[in-house]
Amino acid sequence: MRIGELARRAGTTTRTLRYYESRGLLRARRAENGYRTYDEDDLRLLQQIRTLQDFGFELEETRPFVDCLRAGHPAGDACPASLDVYRRKLDELDGLIGQLRSVRAEVAARLALATEVPEPRCEFERTTE
């Protein structure tokens, strides 16, 4: 398939595909007329990349999964390097969840203090001229 069809089927743009190609994540073959050509394996690579990015993975973090698929594994997360990326991402997410819990507790505490005030202190008196 040509680049436009691959982009359409993968739900992305040709510009994105060219960018992935420049980063070495996607390898285009060239037809005799010079057009880029792709196959179903390329579509699987793109689907893997997009899924991981939807989960919050940076583009470079998808590389081990792409390499795993290229090595012939049926799933991109079947290789040790991919599993390492999953583990690092889980550690990162756990840290972010901890930070969010801390911020939430602080906001809840401030709300509790603010609602203890019997009358609003921020009312403005209107003046008429």
So what's the pLDDT on residue 122? 63
- Residue 14 is classified by DSSP as H
Per-residue pLDDT of the chain (129 residues; tens, 9 = 90+): 999 999 999 999 999 999 999 999 999 888 889 888 999 999 999 999 999 999 999 999 999 999 999 999 988 889 999 999 999 999 999 999 999 999 999 999 999 998 887 766 666 666 665
Locate 109 and state its tokens: 């505490």
- Torsion angle of the four alpha carbons 18, 49, 71, 24, in this order, in degrees rounded to the nearest 10: 30
Residue 62 exposure: Cα atoms within 13 Å on the Cβ side: 22
Residue 10 Rama label (left phi>0; alpha psi -120 to 50; beta): alpha
User: Tokens for 49?
Assistant: 């990349």
pLDDT of residue 93: 96
Write down the pLDDT at residue 89: 96
Torsion angles phi and psi, residue 119, rounded to 5: -130, 150
Q: In whole angstroms, what is the distance from residue 72 CA to residue 80 CA?
A: 14
